[in-house]
Amino acid sequence: MTVTRSNVALWVGLVAAVGVAALLGLGIGPVRLTPAEVWTALAGRGDVTAVAIMRDIRAPRVVLAALVGAALAMSGAALQGTMRNPLAEPYLLGVSGGAAVGAVIAVASRAPFGLVPVGAFGGAVVAVVLVLAIARAGAGRPDPRVLLMAGVVVGAFANAVIMVALASAPPDAVRNALWWMMGSVAGATWVQVGWLAAYAIASASALLLWAPEIDVLALGDDAAAGLGVDVDRAGRRAYILASLLAAATVAAAGLVGFVGLVVPHLVRSRAGRRHRAVIAAAGLAGAALLIAADLVARTLRAPSELPLGAVTALAGVPFFLVQLRRYR
Amino acid sequence: MHHRRSPFLFVALAALLGASAACDRPSAERASPRAQASSALGVSTIQDDFGDTLVLGPSPRRIVSLNPATTELFFVLGAGDRLVGRTHYDLYPSAALAVPDLGNGMQPNVEAVLGARPDLVVLYASNGNRDAAKRFRAAGVPTLTLRVDRIAEFRRTVLVLGRVLGDTTAAHAVVDSVDRTLARVRSATQGAVRPAAFWKAWDSPVIAIGGGSFLTELVEIAGGRNIYGDDPRPSLDVTIEDVVRRDPDVVLAGPESARRMRAAPAWRALRAVRDGRVLIVDTMLVGRPGVRLGEAAVSLARLLHPGAVP
């Protein structure tokens, strides 16, 4: 991503946004702490309670929210480019549905709660494989439009499976499953953060590495083939990487909608045409946005919380409307 | 999550389904016993918590009780053998297990209930049950919806069920015996310093018992103070950090819930957890406002003030 005079402001602004969001996320909570107390507690000194609040509650939450937001936004940016469709996002392409099925089955079969993320991830992988298989069977090769339709179909099927599972599951399992599906980083732990960070950094790096291929794909299949790109392979690779990136977030924080759809549109007009820049910018914007959304989720209805997925969807709609006006 | 069916599931489920009955009416109205006798014109009626009227006829023979608290009471009042349906959570007394399980009691399967051919259906008065109550009435089945969240509502429920069954003597005996034990516990813990207690009923999300629950009253009677007693809801989901801000002296939780709490790093922010003040309550005993309210108060008092209650 080349830094030119015109987009220097964009990158500085995005990094600053993440920093400000993180500072607010660390500084605000039901227990009032002064900035000095926040700092000493983060460093592990001072009041035991303050240290535990900062190190075991707020900090893992902020970091997890940042990772989830970044991963979802990057995934969406890559998919929109690959599919040449402004509506493409991980959740539309069956990932969320598959993950939710996996999680609900894990919950309903009374697996230990720690296995729910594993179930979610497994479900997402199955959904991705299914989408690819359907697209291949339908069109012979993964045409972006067919891939999109296959994703929607798999998503609808997953919804049906979820409804059947929930209707026949014991009510306590239903409660856990519903809570999980509404999305939340409330239970964030460093172990979770570690897993997601390792996973997200690997997939995001791969996505950035192959971003130039997405630039070519975005020109259209014929043009891309004319430029010597193996269209099928490049498209499939981008789809799989983006989907797995989203799947990991679902495993860590449940279903947090709209980030993957809206954030790429917010940065696309400013980050230029190169997908390496668009994906990276979307990642930063997604991180800042989700930290802020989580802050809203945990303060607006204190002492209770709002589901994070509800906050992102509510905030996402006006953002999207503003963006639509810009497209006119 | 819990491998043993916890009585709190009924509370948690009610909260999940937006059922907190406490929100239906202004709180001043809630405490007053609404089901009153009106013997005008020689017809004896009971007004239930949805404002519907039940005309008392001959004592019912086939009863579906979709609330753990009322199921228990039917057994205590000697009408357990007339039950033809219960909820999934009605595990006390053990004879209740022989009654057919008709689901979780919230938004019940109307056809399954009607299939038991009841001549009385008793429901928990939560918004989620309004539709079902209407349908049962439409099908000609006398239906009684009762809120049983507070101790006063428990007393009222016992007396109402006594009238329905035509045995008010037994009902009064039950109420009197519970009240005597509660009074004994209250006086035994009266002078003691009142620890602030956080009652954790669920883990994901974290659900606290609120002021609208009989459990808050039990904590008071047992010589404690619920940190969420100021919230009118029977239960509410809360953030861990808000619990930390309220800084309870002790935590009350079931065995599984307590184990989770000690294992989760985030809960270390709570002074009570660091000091090892997580008290394990017998969830099967205290889980519902029933005839063992007195026993439940005694067990809580023994946790909060060891030695105060013999």
Domain membership of residue B171 (yes or no) is no
What is the Rg, in whole angstroms, of the alpha carbon atoms belonging to chain A?
Answer: 20
pLDDT attached to residue B280: 95
Q: Is A71 on the interface with B (CB under 8 A)?
A: no
Q: What is the pLDDT of residues A12-45, one digit of tens each?
A: 999 999 999 999 999 998 888 999 999 999 998 8
Residues B150, B234, single domain; the answer is no
Residues B96, B151, single domain; the answer is yes
Q: Check A49 against B241: CB less than 8 A apart.
A: no
In chain A the domains, ranked by start, together with CATH numbers, are 5-327 (1.10.3470.10)
Assign A324 a pLDDT band (cuts: 50, 70, 90): confident
Tell me how far apart the alpha carbons of residues A102 and B308 are, in angstroms, rounded to a whole number: 51
pLDDT attached to residue B185: 95
Domain membership of residue B180 (yes or no) is no
Chain A residues lying within 8 Å of B245, measured CB to CB: 30-31
Residues B205, B284, single domain; the answer is yes
pLDDT, greater one: A321 or A308 = A308
Torsion sign across C-alpha atoms A68, A71, A75, A76 = positive
Domain boundary among B118, B133, B166: B166
Tell me how far apart the alpha carbons of residues A270 and A274 are, in angstroms, rounded to a whole number: 11
Residues B75, B159, single domain; the answer is yes
Q: Which domain holds residue B260?
A: 191-304
pLDDT attached to residue A220: 79
Residues B235, B160, single domain; the answer is no
Total domain count for chain B? 2
Residues B150, B57, single domain; the answer is yes
State the DSSP string of chain B: --SSPPTHHHHHHHHHTT--GGGTS-HHHHHS-----B-GGG--EEE-TTS-EEE--SPPSSEEEESHHHHHHHHHTT-GGGEEEB-TT--SSGGGGGSPB--SSSS--HHHHHHT--SEEEEE--GGGHHHHHHHHHTT--EEEE---SHHHHHHHHHHHHHHHT-HHHHHHHHHHHHHHHHHHHHHTTTS---EEEEEEETTTTEEE-TTSHHHHHHHHTT-EETTTTS-SSEEE--HHHHHHH--SEEEE-HHHHHHHHH-GGGGGSHHHHTT-EEEP-HHHHSSSSTTHHHHHHHHHHHHSTTT--
Q: Which residue of B has its CA nearest to A47?
A: B269
CA distance, residue A293 to nearest chain B CA (Å)? 16
Percent of chain A with pLDDT over 70: 95
Domain membership of residue B179 (yes or no) is no
The answer to whether A98 touches A158, Cβ cutoff 8 Å, is yes
pLDDT attached to residue A141: 62
Q: Is A190 on the interface with B (CB under 8 A)?
A: yes
A127-131 average pLDDT score: 89
Domain membership of residue B182 (yes or no) is no
Q: Is A53 on the interface with B (CB under 8 A)?
A: yes
* CATH number, domain containing residue B264: 3.40.50.1980
pLDDT attached to residue A328: 64
Assign B288 a pLDDT band (cuts: 50, 70, 90): confident
pLDDT attached to residue B10: 61
Residues B88, B195, single domain; the answer is no
Put simply, the chain A residues between 228 and 287 with a CB less than 8 A from any chain B CB are none
Residues B205, B272, single domain; the answer is yes
CA distance, residue B173 to nearest chain A CA (Å)? 35
DSSP state of A44: T
The mean pLDDT of chain B is: 85
Chain A residues lying within 8 Å of B240, measured CB to CB: 57, 186
Token pair for residue A277? 């820049």
Residues B150, B39, single domain; the answer is yes
Q: What is the pLDDT of residues B168-221, one digit of tens each?
A: 999 999 999 999 999 999 999 988 899 999 999 988 789 999 999 999 999 999
